[in-house]
């Protein structure tokens, strides 16, 4: 197995081998975390699936994982030499597994249902906010939980559990049809790659059961009830491992019908599944990204990540990618769009049905504005309401004509008006979606800061030297942070560096 494959291996319920760090322990641990003790976890036997029926057992010996916090678990783990099952059942092992699951085996827990269980349990509530609590057709489909169950030289298999929710308290909603397809993103040609999607119903009580021919039998969801389906995505390469190694992500497009008192309404849900992960974060010279000096005493580090998606818990992402580089006083900044993507706050234009207000209100905006299209404006209306948008447009026009003031609309329409990214506003495959601003950014940074033990900020930065700090934890110097981000170290193209660590911007 190549080192490239092992370093990108995602966490699944069939553990994959990963490269073992043999460098000096202190070379991998930032000063902030050295005082808590190093953690040498017990050896573990893992099964590496080189093919569908070709398991190979390897032992992860002397593997050391260095993460902040959990000093008690660190001390106990360093001295542990017993059975891995006993470790997990111990108090220290439980703390370790609860905090990070098995995320240290190659990714921040993207495909580890144990790690992101709590995050995904809130997905339905987050999705309801995308359209202001209104669900057209009364039927909501979550993107659900996913596991990467097989990664071989010529086969990837991912399995997801997606749920339909009848949001009506009175009406029954029919699901007469469900279909799905896959779009692949790769740095090379995908001509030699084939995909297959199978859908199996998982209804309460098991009836009707899944059919061998894959046909979806119509199902009725009663008022306020739910049902589920299991979706399997297979990606095969005719030419072997090389073709799959270049894959970046897969986008699953699920199309279904919501049938009821409203008529027959075609709907869709879209799931982005990352297939490539950067090398395990490390302070070693070979893997560490480079710090850049911005001004005397201020430096920044743009941290690369995988293609973020709804499966990613922001806390685990920051712990995995940012924590190895942190020192006391550092500030971790996260782009507002990547955070919104992790919160699932993106929708396809096909799901947006512009009304007369949206078609009227979008006309005064500059063509490059995300609110200059009917779908972009309707996305805002769905969140803040039509009345607020009408008032904001009229008063903004009056202020511009009489008082020569600009920007009044954005102040009146609310923060989301500034944060909506229309199609082409972010990197593929999200460039085909409308992305809203993040949900509750101040609560988010406060929670992340408390868990990480450092300053955290959510920012909106572009190449025009415009910096907006949406939210920041206490102790962050807004003026110095703005100056540090003016050059947009994260980039505006496909750098895939949504996390920027800023050193020298904390209040003394």
Is residue 95 helix, strand or coil?
A: helix
Q: DSSP strand E in 142-218: where?
A: 145-151, 155-166, 173-175, 178-186, 193-202
**Residue 37 confidence (pLDDT) above 90:** no
Q: What mean pLDDT comes out for the span 199-210?
A: 94
Q: According to the model, what pLDDT value does residue 91 have?
A: 40
For residue 91, how many other CB atoms are within 10 A of its CB? 10
Question: 386 to each of 75, 236, 377, how far by Cα in Å?
Answer: 57, 47, 10
Nearest of 154, 233, 243 to residue 190 by alpha carbon: 243
**Residue 2 confidence (pLDDT) above 90:** no
**Residue 18 confidence (pLDDT) above 50:** no
| Helix, strand, coil abundance in the chain, percent, nearest 5 | 30, 25, 40
CA distance 144 to 160: 7
24: left (phi over 0), alpha (psi -120 to 50) or beta: beta
Q: According to the model, what pLDDT value does residue 425 have?
A: 86
Please tell me which residue, 153 or 225, carries the higher pLDDT value. 225
In tens, the pLDDT along 55-107 reads 333 333 223 333 333 333 333 333 323 333 343 344 434 433 333 333 333 57
Q: According to the model, what pLDDT value does residue 490 have?
A: 87
pLDDT band at 467 (very low <50, low <70, confident <90, very high): very high
Q: What mean pLDDT comes out for the span 365-375?
A: 95
In tens, the pLDDT along 380-403 reads 999 999 999 999 999 999 999 998
What domains can be seen in the chain, in order of their start residue? 3-102 (no CATH), 118-274 (2.60.40), 292-344+437-503 (3.30.1330.100), 346-435 (no CATH)
Q: Which of 76-90, 231-245, 398-412 has the highest mean pLDDT?
A: 398-412
Q: Which of 11-20, 111-120, 248-257 has the highest mean pLDDT?
A: 248-257
Question: 134 to each of 21, 121, 129, 162, how far by Cα in Å?
Answer: 50, 20, 8, 20
Q: Which of 90-94, 355-359, 417-421, 499-503 shows the lowest mean pLDDT across its residues?
A: 90-94
Q: According to the model, what pLDDT value does residue 42 have?
A: 32
**Residue 286 confidence (pLDDT) above 90:** no
pLDDT band at 15 (very low <50, low <70, confident <90, very high): very low
> What DSSP element (H or E) covers 388?
helix 386-398
Q: Which of 14-28, 182-196, 377-391 shows the lowest mean pLDDT across its residues?
A: 14-28
CA distance 47 to 10: 13
Q: According to the model, what pLDDT value does residue 200 have?
A: 97
Q: Do you find a cis peptide bond into 404, omega within 30 degrees of 0?
A: no
Nearest of 312, 302, 249 to residue 107 by alpha carbon: 312
The burial of 439, by beta-carbon neighbours within 10 Å (0-12 exposed, 13-18 middle, 19 or more buried), is given as: middle
**Residue 8 confidence (pLDDT) above 50:** no
CA distance 356 to 371: 14
């Amino acid at each position: 197995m190549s080192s490239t494959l092992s370093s990108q291996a995602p966490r699944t319920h069939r553990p994959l081998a990963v490269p073992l760090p043999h460098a000096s322990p202190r070379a991998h641990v930032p000063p902030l975390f050295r005082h808590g003790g190093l953690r040498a976890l017990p050896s573990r036997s893992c099964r590496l699936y080189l093919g569908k029926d070709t398991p190979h057992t390897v032992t992860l010996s002397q593997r050391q994982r260095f993460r902040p916090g959990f000093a008690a678990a660190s001390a106990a783990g360093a001295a542990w030499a017993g059975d891995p099952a006993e470790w997990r059942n111990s108090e220290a092992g439980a703390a370790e597994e609860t905090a990070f699951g098995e995320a240290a085996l190659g990714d921040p827990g993207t495909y580890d249902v144990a790690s992101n269980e709590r995050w995904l349990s809130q997905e339905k509530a987050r999705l309801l906010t995308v359209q202001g609590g209104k669900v057209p057709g009364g039927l909501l489909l979550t993107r659900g939980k996913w596991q990467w169950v097989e990664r071989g030289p010529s086969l990837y298999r991912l399995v997801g559990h997606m749920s339909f929710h009848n949001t009506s308290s009175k009406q029954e909603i029919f699901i007469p049809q469900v279909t799905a397809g896959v779009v692949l993103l790769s740095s090379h040609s995908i001509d030699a790659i084939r995909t297959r999607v199978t859908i199996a119903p998982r209804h309460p009580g098991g009836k009707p059961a899944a059919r061998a021919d894959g046909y979806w039998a119509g199902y009725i969801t009663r008022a306020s009830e739910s049902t589920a389906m299991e979706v399997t995505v297979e990606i095969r390469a005719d030419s072997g491992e090389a073709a799959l190694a270049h894959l970046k992500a897969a986008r699953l497009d699920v199309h279904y019908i919501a049938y009821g008192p409203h008529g027959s309404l075609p709907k869709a849900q879209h799931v982005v599944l990352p297939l490539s992960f950067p090398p395990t974060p490390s302070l070693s010279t070979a893997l560490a990204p480079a710090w850049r000096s911005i001004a005397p005493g201020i430096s920044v580090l743009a941290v690369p990540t995988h293609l973020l998606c709804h499966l990613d818990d922001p806390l685990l992402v920051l712990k995995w990618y940012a924590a190895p580089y942190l020192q006391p006083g550092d500030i971790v900044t996260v782009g507002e769009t990547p955070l919104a993507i992790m919160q699932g706050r993106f929708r396809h234009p096909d799901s947006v049905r512009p009304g007369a207000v949206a078609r009227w209100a979008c006309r005064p905006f500059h063509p490059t504005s995300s609110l200059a299209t009917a779908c972009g404006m309707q996305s805002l209306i769905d969140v803040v309401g039509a009345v607020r948008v009408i008032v904001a447009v009229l008063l903004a026009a009056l202020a511009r004509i009489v008082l020569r003031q600009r920007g009044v609309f954005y102040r009146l329409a609310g923060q989301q008006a500034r944060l909506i990214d229309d199609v082409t506003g972010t990197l593929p495959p999200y460039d085909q979606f409308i992305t809203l601003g993040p949900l509750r950014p101040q609560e988010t940074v406060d929670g992340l800061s408390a868990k990480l033990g450092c300053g955290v900020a959510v920012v909106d930065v572009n190449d025009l030297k415009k910096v907006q700090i949406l939210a920041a934890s206490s102790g962050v110097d807004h003026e110095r942070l703005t100056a540090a981000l003016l050059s947009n170290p994260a980039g505006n193209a496909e750098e895939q560096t949504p996390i920027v660590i800023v050193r020298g911007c904390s209040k003394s």
